[in-house]
Amino acid sequence: MDACRQCGFVYEDLPLTAIPGAIGDFASTYREAFAGSDRLTVTRRIDPATWSALEYACHVRDVFLVQRDRVVMAQVLERPQVIPMSRDERVSICRYDSQPLPDVLDQLAMAVGLCALVFEGLTPTGWARQLVYNWPTSEVRDVIWVGRNAVHEGVHHLGDVEAVLAQAR
């Protein structure tokens, strides 16, 4: 995947030098998106197949932690194969719906900070390292793509959060 038909994100439009800052910015943009929302609104599912805004925020937090680990793995192993993050299963296993929003937003800030820190420290060789990424199909990807994908996840799901909050209110 190099472009998202749903949110319009185009991977090549994001220079690698902008990746760490774009990741770091998500702490404040997600906090702003949730400003003034009550517990009932953030936990409401607008339909059974759509996550609540809180569940999306938990997912994004976990995405940044998982992507960080994948980048680290790509730096120390030769073309590692990453395991799927099991995003749908995490919703119930990790009890996303029971987590307090202030805690999730603090954890999201920590996750984006840690993820951005890894990307900030990469050398040109580090950016070029490869791994076998298993989503949406199994393909060899470089760390630049992983960084762009992490930013895409943040952008895409921010749109999901805003849409779900608007409908849940």
Give the gyration radius of the chain's Cα atoms.
Answer: 16
Domain interval for residue 131: 11-168
**CA atoms of 160 and 53, how far apart (whole Å):** 7
In the three-class reduction of DSSP (H, G, I as helix; E, B as strand; rest coil), residue 141 is classed as strand
| Res 1: pLDDT | 74
Percentage above 90 pLDDT, the chain: 95
Domain-located, residue 155:
yes
**Which CATH number goes with the domain that contains 142?**
1.20.120.450
| Res 137: pLDDT | 84
Domain-located, residue 3:
no
| Res 135: pLDDT | 77
| Res 112: pLDDT | 98
Look at the chain and report how many structural domains it folds into. Answer: 1
pLDDT one-digit tens code per residue, 113-143: 999 999 999 999 999 999 999 877 899 999 9
pLDDT one-digit tens code per residue, 85-95: 999 999 999 99
Domain-located, residue 2:
no
**CA atoms of 29 and 22, how far apart (whole Å):** 10
Q: What is the per-residue burial (b if ≥16 Cβ within 10 Å, else e) of 114-126?
A: ebbebbeebeeeb
**CA atoms of 5 and 148, how far apart (whole Å):** 15
Domain-located, residue 4:
no
Whole-structure pTM value: 0.96
Domain-located, residue 5:
no
pLDDT one-digit tens code per residue, 42-73: 999 999 999 999 999 999 999 999 999 999 99
| Res 157: pLDDT | 98
Residue 108: closest CA among 145, 156, 55, 72: 55
